[in-house]
Amino acid sequence: MFTEFLRTSIPGRAVTGGLVSVNLVNLRDFGRGNYRQLDDYAFGSGGMVLAAPQMKDALDSLSREPGRKPFVVYPSPQGVLISQEIIETLALQEDVAIICGHYEGIDERFVSSYVDLEVSIGDCVLTGGEIPAMLIVDAMSRLVPGVVGKGKAVIEDSFYRGMLDNPNYTRPYEWEGLKVPEVLTGGNEHDISRWRRREAIRRTLTRRPDLVSRASVREYISGVNVAVIAESENVDFAGLSETCNAYGAGRPYIVAGNRELREVMKSKIPSAKIVGSVGKILDTLGEGTMIVKAASSARRNALHSLEAKRMCLEHDGGVLFVFAESDEALDEVDGIEAYVFTDGNDVAMGVRIGIALDRFLGKR
């Protein structure tokens, strides 16, 4: 089953190019007795189960040097559903051993003692673990530098950023009465990029809304800014500018209602933009900017951060995240309110903002 697979397409390119090494181990070589027995009847009735001693012998044969053990993966219906995050974790391992089960599976004593990760490719029944193993090898190979011709192609794949891909079209322009969207033929790269971003969002929200909770929405929002309402001189801004920069939000805005406080803020955090009101920020960013007020508790009319995240995706414009020392200060600002932490008043403002931005903009 593996011979042609390892000679074909991306996995074949990875293997023949020496970028990925795949060692096929025949479990039958470790069978016991005249018939090279690998399995036996399940205790308590049932089908055949692969025996622990033979599986252990096969696994021991993979150890290249003392202390160097492979990361052991066992595809089975009882495993956690495989995801791009799991594939990325496996691709970081030096050695990965994928064990292909059969029949009723493998003796649980071997699984609990030697398997590092049990994964499932979905709620279906297969003859054995070979096809899931191929899936894992294929997905891992794509992440090895040099395997895929254009590194950008990997980044733009569905799930790599946590979202589904946009629709794609090719010639002919019209087929069975259906035409390619006009925006794709106009040649305006900005409009094309905007359309693709919008369609990726629409698809994800419609088909796989569960992905939104773990996806970074930064690439799908046209602009992100952060504003902090300063109510006193005592607010701790440690790391604020670094946090905003790390999440692509640029220089933060500090909103101070009176001149004296603004002067204090200028000396306290010179890298920030000091303004007198949130309205002044909107004058700069434009009326199409969506305001998300980050609260520290679930107040009346407040949204769960995931619901606010969906609204950010659906909004065709920039987003301004507004923070304050107290939730009451947020009442003076018009916008949607989302609760993102239980109680952050005793935590540095820069840390609170980092928590909130990571909920929305952090990598998967």
Please state, in angstroms and rounded to a whole number, the distance separating the CA atoms of residues 200 and 165.
5
Catalytic pick among 13, 57, 77, 364: 77
Name beta bridge partners: 50.
39, 106
Tell me if residue 66 is catalytic: no
142 is catalytic: yes
Extract the tokens encoding 225: 């800014």
Distance in Å from the first CA to the final CA of the chain: 34
In the set 13, 95, 138, 142, the catalytic residue is 142
| Residue 305 neighbours by CB distance under 10 Å | 20
In Å, what is the CA distance from 82 to each residue of 50, 118, 121, 207? 23, 9, 6, 18
Q: Catalytic one among 57, 88, 95, 104?
A: 104
Catalytic residue among 88, 157, 165, 236: 157
For residue 55, CA distances in Å to 39, 66, 103 come to: 10, 19, 14
Burial of 37-57, coded b for 16+ CB within 10 Å and e otherwise, reads ebbeeeeeeeeebbbbebbbe
Tell me if residue 77 is catalytic. Answer: yes
- Please say whether the dihedral angle defined by the alpha carbons of residues 199, 204, 205 and 211, taken in this order, is positive or negative: negative
Does the annotation count 145 as an active-site position? Answer: no
Catalytically active residues are 77, 104, 142, 157
